[in-house]
Structure formats: structure tokens, C-alpha cells
């Protein structure tokens, strides 16, 4: 499977999220860019520095990296991380020469929907798609409560997931909403982004059910491939593997310069 499609669809999802944050009037600036092979996400928002990234760096795009880094710094952007897949030694040497060190993993999961029989499953949980404004409000409340993140992150998540292009889903235990998840479709690819379970309902298979349901919806909508990201060795990553996803390890490289502001 061509991972370029996964990277491209994830970048398109970031484009939606940044546009939503700007429209919602969140503090700071938000933007994305494509510099030949590189994909750039950037924000000056305090508390959202984890969004700053440069992806799709490989042997063919090394010449573009330094100019992009110089431009980001010259325009006042906070430090960014560079995310790579399996790269040739010369790419690793370039990153090291620029002061970057490997600081963690950013796994990317992919699934070929055309090769799998993905069905809408049933269990004691019921999954419904968000349609009305009231349902969207419940979806946003459950999603952000499950994240239990800072106020800044919550505002960003609410802005992104209020967009019509982001399809929301709720998992119900009887009449009680217990989890939420989202997807966005980008051509033949579906991005499964945004998922959370209320604390008291974790460990009950809520996200596994939401995952299976969304895959069925995506396949029915004509999507041929699915992608998602998850923290390494997390329950979300394990759910993706159990659902048949292939996990591709990506490395996050970070550099901290004395004159650079720190963002979280």
C-alpha cells in the first residue's frame, strides 16, 4: 500500500483543523504548507505546540528541509519536530547535523479496506452517526470529556470537530452516551481521527466498537484505504492492530535551540 496516500490524507485533515481553529478565532496563528515533498503544520498557539511538524522527509526532500526550517524560525514560529519513516543513513546524518535528536515514535496505521470484509457489527453497545445540532453538541461534550485535556486543547478539538466535513459518531450503552469518535474522507482514503471514551466506561470495548463501525461506514462510502495515528503501545494502537491495521513506525526528531521559546 502506498503510504504517500496516508500522509497526504492526514495533512488534508490538518488543513481542515487549522482552518477551523482560525475560523473559530482561537488565539495564535494556524497554517499548513506543502513544500514539494514536505508537509508542514504550524501554529503559534501556546499549548498547541505539539501540532508543529514537518512530515514526509526522505532522500528526495532533504534539500528542502533547511530552507523550510529557516523560514519557520524567521517568521517567529516555535520549534517544530520532523517526522520520518524508515530513512536512509544520510537522512539521519542530516538531521543530526541540524541538531535534531530522535525523541519518540509517531506510529502510522493503515488498512486496505478493499481487501477486508468490514461489516457493521452489533453488540450491547449502539453506535449512531451525528446528524442534528443537538447530537453534535452531545458528541462534542463526550469527545472533550473523554480527552480530559487542557482548555486550549479542548477549544481546538471542539473547533475541528464542529466542521461539517468531520463526521461524528456516538457509542451508547442503553440511553447513555459513553464514547465518541470521528472520521473524514479524503478521496479514496478515510482518516480516523478524534476518539475518546468517558473515563468510567473505559475497558469495555467502546473504542473497538466505534472503530469497527466507522470502518464499515467508510467502506460503504467508497473509501478504499484507512489511516489513523495513535501513541505507541497505547490501547488505541492495540485496537488498530486487532482491527487488521498495519502499523508503520515513524520517528519524531526534535531540536531545541537556546533562543527558541518552549511550547507544550
Q: Which DSSP string do the residues of 95-141 spell out, in sequence order?
A: HHHTT-EEEEE--EEEEEGGGS-------SSEEEE--SHHHHHHHHH
Stretch 99-122: mean pLDDT: 80
Is the model's pTM score more than 0.85?
yes
Could you report the per-residue pLDDT of 139-156, keeping only the tens digit for each? 999 999 999 999 999 999
**What radius of gyration, in Å, describes the C-alpha atoms of the chain?**
19
DSSP label at residue 178? E
- pLDDT over 70 for what percent of the chain? 94
Please report which residue ranges of the chain form alpha helices under DSSP H: 3-23, 62-74, 89-97, 133-147, 151-161, 206-220, 235-242
Q: Is the pLDDT of residue 22 over 50?
A: yes
- Phi, psi (5° rounding) for residue 39? -120, 125
Q: Is the pLDDT of residue 1 over 50?
A: yes
Is 252:103 a contact under the CB 8 Å cutoff?
yes
**Strand 38-43 and strand 225-229: pairing?**
unpaired
Give the confidence band of 206 by pLDDT, cuts at 50, 70, 90.
very high
Separation of alpha carbons 161 and 156, rounded Å: 9
- Contacts of residue 130, defined as CB under 8 A and 6 or more positions apart, other chains included, come to 136, 138, 139, 167, 168, 169, 170
Q: How many residues does the chain have?
A: 264
- Partners of residue 34 on adjacent β-strands: 39
Could you report the per-residue pLDDT of 219-251, keeping only the tens digit for each? 999 999 999 999 988 999 999 999 999 999 999
Torsion of CA 39, 42, 47, 50, to 10 degrees: 20
CA 38 to chain centre: 17
Could you report the per-residue pLDDT of 67-83, keeping only the tens digit for each? 999 999 999 999 899 99
Is 161:135 a contact under the CB 8 Å cutoff?
no
Q: Is the pLDDT of residue 204 over 70?
A: yes
pLDDT of residue 258: 58
Amino acid at each position: 500500500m502506498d503510504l504517500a496516500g496516508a500522509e497526504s490524507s492526514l495533512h488534508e485533515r490538518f488543513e481542515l483543523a487549522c482552518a477551523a481553529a482560525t475560523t473559530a478565532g482561537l488565539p495564535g496563528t494556524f497554517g499548513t504548507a506543502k513544500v514539494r515533498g514536505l508537509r508542514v503544520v504550524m501554529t503559534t498557539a501556546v499549548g498547541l505546540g505539539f501540532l508543529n511538524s514537518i512530515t514526509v522527509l526522505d532522500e528526495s526532500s532533504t534539500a528542502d528541509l533547511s530552507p523550510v526550517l529557516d523560514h519557520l524560525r524567521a517568521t517567529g514560529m516555535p520549534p517544530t519536530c520532523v517526522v520520518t519513516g524508515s530513512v536512509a543513513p544520510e537522512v539521519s546524518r542530516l538531521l543530526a547535523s541540524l541538531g535534531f535528536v530522535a525523541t519518540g515514535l509517531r506510529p502510522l496505521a493503515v488498512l486496505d479496506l478493499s481487501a477486508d470484509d468490514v461489516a457493521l457489527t452489533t453488540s450491547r453497545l449502539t453506535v449512531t452517526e451525528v446528524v442534528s445540532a443537538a447530537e453534535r453538541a452531545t458528541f462534542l461534550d463526550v469527545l472533550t470529556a473523554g480527552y480530559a485535556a487542557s482548555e486550549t486543547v479542548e477549544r481546538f478539538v471542539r473547533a475541528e470537530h464542529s466542521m461539517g466535513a468531520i463526521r461524528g459518531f456516538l457509542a451508547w450503552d442503553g440511553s447513555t452516551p459513553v464514547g465518541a469518535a470521528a472520521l473524514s474522507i479524503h478521496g479514496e482514503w478515510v482518516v480516523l481521527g478524534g476518539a475518546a471514551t468517558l473515563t468510567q466506561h473505559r475497558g469495555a470495548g467502546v473504542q473497538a466498537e466505534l472503530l469497527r463501525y466507522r470502518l464499515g461506514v467508510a467502506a460503504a462510502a467508497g473509501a478504499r484505504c484507512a489511516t489513523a495515528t495513535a501513541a505507541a503501545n497505547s490501547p488505541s494502537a492495540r485496537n488498530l492492530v486487532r482491527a487488521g491495521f498495519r502499523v508503520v513506525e515513524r520517528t519524531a526528531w526534535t531540536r531545541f535551540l537556546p533562543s527558541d521559546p518552549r511550547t507544550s
